[in-house]
Amino acid sequence: MSGYTLYWKPGSGSMVVEAALRMIGVAFDAVEVDDTADTAFLALNPAGKVPVLKLACGPVIAESAAILISLDDMFPEARLLPPRGRSGHVKAVQWLIFMATNIYPACLRYYYPERHTTDPAPEAAEAIRSQAALDMDRDFARLAAAVQGPFLTGQTMTITDVYAAMLADWYDSAKNTPEIKALVGRVLENPAVAEAWRHHGFGA
């Protein structure tokens, strides 16, 4: 048994957390969650969502962006994010939060529109799905325009780039955008990321 436990599901946002743990090089146990509505899992995260990371010292963290920022705080030598106090750190955190609060929720509206309306009419769900696609097209275009030399914050890959690659894999229009497609390819050159990518069934 290791000191860290990652609760995960295939194809989910837990991929980027597994990638971070592998990039750090810390041992962890991976517990696949079959039912996020299970009472035992809800005791860990009442929101009923993965990823959840149980830390070696006891606390439990939910929400992928919060987990990544916490891991960067605990393992600064791993350089998941650029060093604090530099402009690259601010930019990486900004894009991470932008994606977590804009693109990630839009992905959920796109694939599960019925969860976001009380109107049972098919037209209601389709309207939500269509708007989600427009939102993602706009936000991925902003992301693509921000890629520079060759990552979001310059020459060095950060966990923010991995997060962007993960979201792009969920949306065909994004992963076929030249700038985003190139970013995904560069991210997957990292062996730790590639292993987490395969384990979660991404790239299918």
Which string of DSSP letters, residue by residue, matches 69-105?
A: HHHHHH-GGG-SSPPTTSHHHHHHHHHHHHIIIIIHH
Quick one: 37 and 121 in the same domain? no
Q: Of 103, 133, 106, 129, which is closest to residue 117 (Cα–Cα)?
A: 129
Q: Of 130, 104, 99, 101, which is closest to residue 117 (Cα–Cα)?
A: 130
Domain boundary residue, one of 78, 109, 137: 78
**What one-character DSSP code corresponds to residue 30?**
E
Residue 149 lies in a domain: yes
Tally of domains within the chain: 2
Quick one: 48 and 143 in the same domain? no
CATH of the domain at 65: 3.40.30.10
Instruction: Provide the domain limits for residue 145.
Output: 87-190
Quick one: 68 and 136 in the same domain? no
Residue 203 lies in a domain: no
Q: What is the pLDDT of residue 56?
A: 84
Quick one: 68 and 152 in the same domain? no
How many Cβ atoms are within 10 Å of 135's Cβ, its own excluded? Answer: 17
Residue 202 lies in a domain: no
Quick one: 118 and 160 in the same domain? yes
Q: What is the pLDDT of residue 57?
A: 84
Residue 37 lies in a domain: yes
Domain boundary residue, one of 32, 53, 78: 78
Residue 58 lies in a domain: yes
Domain boundary residue, one of 21, 45, 78: 78
Quick one: 91 and 74 in the same domain? no
Q: What is the pLDDT of residue 109?
A: 97
Question: Is the whole model's pTM more than 0.85, yes or no?
Answer: yes
Quick one: 92 and 166 in the same domain? yes
3 state SS of 195: helix
Q: Of 39, 148, 152, 137, which is closest to residue 91 (Cα–Cα)?
A: 152
Q: Of 74, 73, 72, which is closest to residue 3 (Cα–Cα)?
A: 74
Phi/psi of residue 84, each to 5°? Answer: -60, 150
* DSSP secondary structure letters along 102-163: IIHHHHHHHH-GGGG-S--SHHHHHHHHHHHHHHHHHHHHHHHHH-BTTBTTBSS--HHHHH
Pairing relation of β-strands 52-54 and 5-8? Answer: antiparallel
The answer to whether the beta carbons of residues 66 and 96 sit under 8 Å apart is no
Cis peptide before 51 (omega within 30 of 0): yes
Quick one: 71 and 102 in the same domain? no
Quick one: 121 and 157 in the same domain? yes
What does the pLDDT profile of the chain (204 residues) look like in tens digits?
468 999 999 999 999 999 999 999 999 999 999 999 999 999 999 999 999 999 988 899 999 999 999 999 999 999 999 999 888 999 999 999 999 999 999 999 999 999 999 999 999 999 999 999 999 999 999 999 999 789 999 899 999 999 999 999 999 999 999 999 999 999 999 999 999 999 999 986
Residue 197 lies in a domain: no
Residue 115 lies in a domain: yes
Residue 9 lies in a domain: yes
